[in-house]
Amino acid sequence: MHIVICIKQVPDSAQIRVHPVTNTIMRQGVPTIINPYDLFALEEALRLRDAHGGEVTVLTMGPPMAEDALRKALTYGADRAVLLTDRYFAGSDTLATSFALSQAITKVGETFGTPDIVFTGKQTIDGDTAQVGPGIAKRLDLLQLTYVAKIASIDLDVREITVERRSEGGMQMLKSRLPCLITMLEGTNEIRRGSLDDALRAARSQIVKWSAADAGIEDLAKCGLRGSPTVVKRVFAPTARAEKAAQIDTTDKTLRDLADELIAAILTRQPALEHELPFDGAA
């Protein structure tokens, strides 16, 4: 079994800066980490590899410094790492990113074997769109299983996988054919501590580095800013509210008294609600 896991090196969310002109994230001088959601996907890929055999290829698109994230993934036990890096990819939105990554996954399949499963995290902490995973699935014509909380079973003989998926109405049990793409939820597992052997191997490993041409990307108009129809018109920090929250004293009060007092406080601040809500004010 060959599993491809897409990860992203992201800036530490506590220290993100935005370029005042292009409205893109400024990464220079900002500490970077592996996108936390991707770690759950990586651990699940490694668990499947350990249980059923095969290889795990880690793929990322980014600047040359994204190699650090790939080496970190290798310390956890991934078998190989591929860095898709080129100036043509700068400023990519989710549409351009999913295009470049899908092309790279095709190249990975031609070079190292067709993937049975492609993993991504649910979303990234810098974009929070949750669009890249489904975008890759669409471009590669893969069945997609999003917001997966648990892989219940996998049968490589009949090439089927059963997962638990979180939805607004609860949990769903879904069965899919392979190959497929899975986006993993947070908190679904605990990332392992890499072994000393894996750490030494990661330090010695040769990261596979592909440019757009190396990955077989011919239509460069679909990459980077040119291939990104998303336009950020303005970036701003919300104005802090000057009004402080009110507190209600709960000492020696019943739940009914507290409810009455809360409703009265709300109607005092928003008197128009008294005429809109379907009650007459009497409990």
Q: What is the pLDDT of residue 283?
A: 46
Label residues 213-252 b or e (16+ Cβ within 10 Å = b).
eebebeeeebbbeebbeeeeeeeeeeeeeeeeeeeeeeee
Cα separation of 191 and 182, whole Å?
Answer: 17
Cβ contact 98:130 at 8 Å: no
> Quick one: pLDDT at residue 147?
94
Residues near 76 by Cβ (< 8 Å), separated by ≥ 6? 42, 43, 46, 191, 192, 194, 198
β-pairing, 80-84 with 208-210?
Answer: parallel
Q: What is the pLDDT of residue 31?
A: 78
Residue 95 amino acid letter? L
- The structural domains of the chain, with segments of one domain joined by +, span 2-227
Task: Quote the pLDDT of residue 240.
Answer: 75
pLDDT (0 to 100) of residue 26: 67
pLDDT at residue 279 in the model: 58
3-state secondary structure of 77: coil
* pLDDT by position in tens, the chain (length 283): 999 999 999 877 666 667 667 666 666 667 788 999 999 999 999 999 999 999 999 999 999 999 999 999 999 999 999 999 999 998 899 999 999 999 999 999 999 999 999 999 999 888 788 899 999 999 999 999 999 999 999 999 999 999 999 988 888 999 999 999 999 999 888 898 888 888 998 999 899 999 999 999 999 999 998 899 988 777 666 777 777 778 888 888 899 989 989 888 888 888 887 777 665 545 4
Domain 2-227: top CATH class: alpha beta
Residue 64 to residue 176: CA distance in whole angstroms:
36
pLDDT at res. 233: 76
pTM: 0.77
CA distance 283 to 27: 56
